[in-house]
Structure 1
Amino acid sequence: MSLHLSSARGTARRVVLSCDVAGCAVQVEPPPIESWRNDADARVWARDHAAGWTHDPVRRTDYCPAHAAFSVAPAAGAVAPRPTMTARDNAGNPLNRDEYAEQLRKQLAGDRPVTGAPGAVTTAQAAIAARLLDELAGVYHGESIGTLAHEVATLLDRAAVVDGGMARGGEPA
């Protein structure tokens, strides 16, 4: 829950509303009031006094005005926005996972093989990266970014088998 209730002994309780988009540091603290009947009332009061903020009751998340679109249900047939956790645009906003996967696919298609360059990935590193990508593929199963993660994991597995005799899971073949 992004709503934080706090109080010091005998002072008015504070309510701080935080945006639930990963990496967004926006918070708002509506003017304090002396007391509420219960925490649910405090939450309702805070949300009512946070101008431009939206709340998704299903996911129990709150969004600042810049990210309010994440709480709006998509139109019938439209795909809901699926933000990345760490990848950001120049303004610091999360990228759409499907668009990010397409961008990565284009980068992968234009890649050239490295031949004996210093700092090349070892067989063990490739096997570990493949396992991490498989885990990512499981988290985003059915999404384009999950499919891409699985495809790259398969490429790394093939390279590890050819270069170092490693099988899936990092065990010797």
Structure 2
Amino acid sequence: MAGCPVQSEPPAIEAWRNDADARTWAREHAPGWTSDPVRQTDYCPGHAASSVASAEQAAPRPTAAVRDSRGNPLNRDEYTERLRETLRADDRPSGRTLTVAQATVAARLLDELAGVYRGEQLGALARELSTLLDERPPGGR
């Protein structure tokens, strides 16, 4: 595989992004290129098969702040499932209301979270909740 893995670089206009965001943008805009998250490398269309990692090589995806009882970070997919269970178990009004500004800020923060975790279950949940906040009047059902 001469010359591979080759890193796909984002254009200069995307340089303001942090490195992970810029690489993600470059990957999404480079037709045929693939990525191996374990090796953190990109592959040209001719060597795309090299980017397929086996299930036992999957890189851990820990949460940034959420910890289990032993202090270890939770896996983001596990955390997402816990959050979804919480939503299903207790989907009733709390008596608290958000102002329009608070709901707007919460929705925008969730949009940002969805962008950071694009393609992951946690990002999908953030997008769903953002949409929910945008559709409902604050405090409304």
Q: TM class, shorter-chain normalised? A: 0.5 to 0.7
How many residues align? The count is: 89
Q: Does the Cα contact within 8 Å between 1:133 and 1:153 map onto a contact in 2?
A: yes
Q: Could you tell me which amino acid in structure 2 is paired with residue 83 of structure 1?
A: P
Tell me the residue number matched to 2:55: 77
Q: Does the Cα contact within 8 Å between 2:97 and 2:139 map onto a contact in 1?
A: no
> C-alpha separation between the residues in 2 aligned to 1:123 and 1:111?
23
Tell me the residue number matched to 1:145: 122
> C-alpha separation between the residues in 2 aligned to 1:105 and 1:120?
21
Which of 98, 102, 107 matches 2:77?
98
**TM-score normalized by structure 1?**
0.46
C-alpha deviations, 1:144-173, integer Å up to 9, x for none? Answer: 00000000101111113895xxxxxxxxxx
Q: Could you tell me which amino acid in structure 2 is paired with residue 76 of structure 1?
A: S
> C-alpha separation between the residues in 1 aligned to 2:91 and 2:116?
29
Q: Could you tell me which amino acid in structure 2 is paired with residue 157 of structure 1?
A: D
Structure 1 portions without partners, runs of 5+ = 1-57, 60-74, 164-173
Structure whose CA Rg is larger: 1
Tell me the residue number matched to 2:67: 88
Instruction: Compare relative contact order (CA 8 Å, sep 6+) and give the higher one, 1 or 2.
Output: 2
Structure 2 portions without partners, runs of 5+ = 1-38, 41-52
More helix, by proportion? 2
> C-alpha separation between the residues in 1 aligned to 2:99 and 2:92?
15
Q: RMSD of aligned C-alpha atoms? A: 2.2
Q: Could you tell me which amino acid in structure 2 is paired with residue 138 of structure 1?
A: G
Q: Could you tell me which amino acid in structure 1 is paired with residue 118 of structure 2?
A: H
Q: Does 1:158 align with 2:130?
A: no
Q: CA deviation at 1:123?
A: 2.0
**TM-score normalized by structure 2?**
0.56
Q: Does the Cα contact within 8 Å between 1:127 and 1:160 map onto a contact in 2?
A: no
C-alpha deviations, 1:125-155, integer Å up to 9, x for none? Answer: 1111000000000000000000000001011
Relative to 1, partners in 2 of residues 1:121 and 1:162: Cα closer, same or farther, differing over 3 Å? closer
More strand, by proportion? 1
